[in-house]
Amino acid sequence: MTTLTGEMCVACRRDSPRVTDAEMAELKPQIPDWRITDTDGIPRLERSFKFKSFSDALQFTTSLGRQADSEGHHPRITLEWGRVGVDWWTHKIRGLHRNDFIMAAKTDAMYAAASENADQSD
């Protein structure tokens, strides 16, 4: 099994398949800190990340935005003092696609790197 962080997002069309329950059961353990939520009937992956300052949260948000743009897959990002909320879902299919799990895993890796860098600068 490959790790999700080593995969790239693929372009989705309106007829692209949503993840099945079996696929979700395989993928979810790779992103254990993410919750599967439902907003207006659309399943999403949701997680909140904590930071020591607004500046750290903003830097993470900017990095995540750049990564998302390079993958052609964009989340909802909520930036607050010391916290960044991220929701992944595939707009075209109004649900979850493998891309969402890939990007959630990459977001986790970015957060781990940002946390490590913050700890080293203290």
For the stretch 86-114, pLDDT in tens is: 999 999 999 999 999 999 999 999 999 98
Decide if 1 is inside a domain: no
Residue 12 within a domain: no
Over residues 40-92, the pLDDT tens digits come to 999 999 999 999 999 999 999 999 999 999 999 999 999 999 999 999 999 99
- pLDDT of residue 119 exceeding 80, the answer is no
Is 13 domain-assigned? no
Tokens 């995540």 identify what position?
64
Q: For position 120, what pLDDT does the model report? A: 53
29 lies in which domain range? 19-121
Q: How many domains does the chain have?
A: 1
H or E stretch covering 66: helix 54-71
109 assigned to some structural domain: yes
The structure's pTM equals 0.92
Backbone φ/ψ region at 17: left (φ over 0), alpha (ψ -120 to 50), beta: beta
Element (H, E) at 112: helix 98-121
The domain that holds 105 is classified in CATH as 3.30.1360.20
Counting every residue written for the chain, the total comes to 122
What are the E-state strand segments in 1-82? Answer: 35-39, 42-50, 76-80
Question: Could you tell me the pLDDT band of residue 118, with boundaries at 50, 70 and 90?
Answer: low
At 1 the pLDDT is 38
